[in-house]
Amino acid sequence: MIRTRARRLAAVAALALAAVLGPVATTPAAAAPVEMPEPPSADAARTELADLTVEAPHSMDGYSRAKFPHWIQQGNKCDTREVVLKRDGQDVTRDDQCRAVSGTWLSHYDEKSLTAASQVDIDHMVPLANAWRSGADSWTTARRTEFANDLQHSQLIAVSASSNRSKGDQSPDQWSPPNRDYWCTYARAWTDVKHLYQLSVTQPEADQLVTMLDTCA
């Protein structure tokens, strides 16, 4: 009886302490940080680019971002966005809901330093609407979900919200990163994602990818 009462008192004390201190930052084990996937070499990307179908964009009829479900759960309350925020950031701290509450991020598109998760967008290297115009219009929802949450390839990257919104759904001939030093990586990643998912390119898009790949040392 005495031991039971002591345990209850200890539990009450612990709850009172938690109420004072607030939520404790934790890092869910299932969403442990991983390195951002490295795209293939420039030579490999050139080979992939030559293998892509060149054609006019498909119709946007029927398109909706809702047809590419994201961000999906990746385990321990962490969705795809939070996994990428942790992966691409420095000293990222999460709360008990897996939300990034502090950290820093470098946006490679425009070389901006970001100090709050609210300043960060997770960019789809090949935008969802661009994918729709180049072949995803015929995919199943499962395939679109895989594409929109792909952590295994160079499809997702943490960048400044301003650069992501400037890019929109444009292809490289319409928008390229202001940071020209990132053109090589960008072209390698874009080409590889299109090749992996068997998406087409337009002729202007292919031409600009060649120009960007030519910046690789």
Per-residue pLDDT reduced to its tens digit, 184-211? 999 999 999 999 999 999 999 999 999 9
Of 143, 88, 146, residue with least CA distance to 121: 88
CA pair distance 123, 77, nearest whole angstrom: 21
> Rounded to whole angstroms, what are the CA distances from 6 to 1, 3, 9, 13, 17?
9, 5, 5, 11, 17
As a whole number, mean pLDDT of residues 75-101 equals 97
φ and ψ at residue 75, rounded to 5 degrees: 115, 145
The predicted model gives 52-69 an average pLDDT of 98
Cα distance between residue 141 and residue 184, in whole Å? 31
Local structure of 191: helix, strand or coil: helix
CB 120 within 8 A of CB 84: no
The span from the CA of 62 to the CA of 52, in Å, is: 24
| Segments making up each domain of the chain, as ranges | 24-213
Q: Quickly count: other Cβ atoms within 10 Å of residue 29's Cβ.
A: 9
> Is the Cα torsion angle 166, 204, 109, 47 positive or negative in sign?
positive
pLDDT on residue 217:
85
Entry pTM: 0.84
For residue 71, the tally of other CB atoms under 10 A from its CB is 16
Which amino acid does the sequence have at 108? H
CA gap 2, 144 in Å, rounded? 60
Write the burial class of residue 200 (CB in 10 Å: 0-12 exposed, 13-18 middle, 19+ buried).
Answer: middle
- Could you report the per-residue pLDDT of 107-133, keeping only the tens digit for each? 999 999 999 999 999 999 999 999 999
